[in-house]
Structure 1
Amino acid sequence: MIDHFSFDQRLGIPLPELTGDWEEYSKETQQEILLYWEQIRGSIPDRIADLEQEINQKQEQLSNENDFPRSCQLNTDIADLASIINDLWLWYRANQTLSTKLHQ
C-alpha cells in the first residue's frame, strides 16, 4: 500500500495519496486500498486520545507556569495539538464514504 498512501508527519498517520481516478484502479486494488484505509481510520480515535492526553499535560504545566514566554509556548503547543485533533476528526468523518464502499 506504500504506493497509495504517504505518512503525514503532522497527523501521525498515513493518508491516501491516489495518483489516478478511483475507477482506474482494479477492483482488487480498490479493495486493498479500502481495507488499508479502514485500518488506519480505526486507529484515528486512539491517536486523538493520545493527543488529548498531551494537551491535558500541557494545560497542567500551564496552570503552574510563571514564566510568560514559557506560558506562551505552552499555549501555542496546545493550539497546535488541538488543530491536529481537528484535522484527524475531519479525515475520520470525511472518509466514511470510502469505508461504506468497503462494505458494498
Structure 2
Amino acid sequence: MKEHFSFDQRLGIFLPDMTEEWDDYSKDTQQEILFHWEQIRGSIPDRIFELENEINHKQAQLSDENNFARSCQLNSEIAELASIINDLWLWYRANQTLSEKMHQ
C-alpha cells in the first residue's frame, strides 16, 4: 500500500497519494486502499489527542513565562499545533465518503 500513500511530516500520518483515477484501479486494489485508509483514518483522533496534550503543555509553559520573545515563540507553536489539528479534522471528515464506500 506504500505506493498509494505518502507520509505527511507536518500532520504525522500517511495520506492518500493516488497516481491514477479511482475507477482505473481494480476493485481489489480499491478495497485494499479503502481498508488501509480506514485504519489510518481511525488513528487520526489519537494523533489529535497527542497534539492537544502538546498544546496543553505549551500553554502551561506560557502561563509561567516572563520572557516576551519566548512567549511569542510558544504562542506561535501553539497556533501551528492548532492548525495541524484543524487539518487533521478536515482529513478525518472530508474522507469519510471514502470510508463509506468501503462498507457498500
Q: Indicate the TM-score class for this superposition, using the shorter chain for normalisation.
A: over 0.9
1:95 partner letter: N
Q: In structure 2, what is the equivalent of residue 49 of structure 1?
A: 49
* Aligned residue pair count: 104
Matched, 1:32 2:37: no
Identity of aligned residues (%): 76
Q: CA deviation at 1:91?
A: 0.1
Q: CA deviation at 1:3?
A: 0.4
Q: CA deviation at 1:93?
A: 0.1
Q: CA deviation at 1:92?
A: 0.0
1:44-83 pair list within 5 angstroms: 44-83=44-83
Q: CA deviation at 1:100?
A: 0.3
- Matched residue SS, 2:85: helix
Q: CA deviation at 1:86?
A: 0.1
Q: CA deviation at 1:41?
A: 0.2
| Root-mean-square deviation over aligned CA pairs | 0.2
Q: CA deviation at 1:6?
A: 0.1
Q: In structure 1, what is the equivalent of residue 11 of structure 2?
A: 11
Q: In structure 2, what is the equivalent of residue 98 of structure 1?
A: 98
Q: CA deviation at 1:98?
A: 0.1
Distance 1:40 1:24 in 2: 23
Q: CA deviation at 1:4?
A: 0.3
Q: CA deviation at 1:51?
A: 0.1
Structure 1 unaligned residues grouped into runs of 5+: none
Structure 1 runs (4+) greater than 3 angstroms displaced: none
Q: CA deviation at 1:50?
A: 0.3
Distance 2:102 2:31 in 1: 7
Q: CA deviation at 1:12?
A: 0.2
Distance 1:89 1:74 in 2: 23
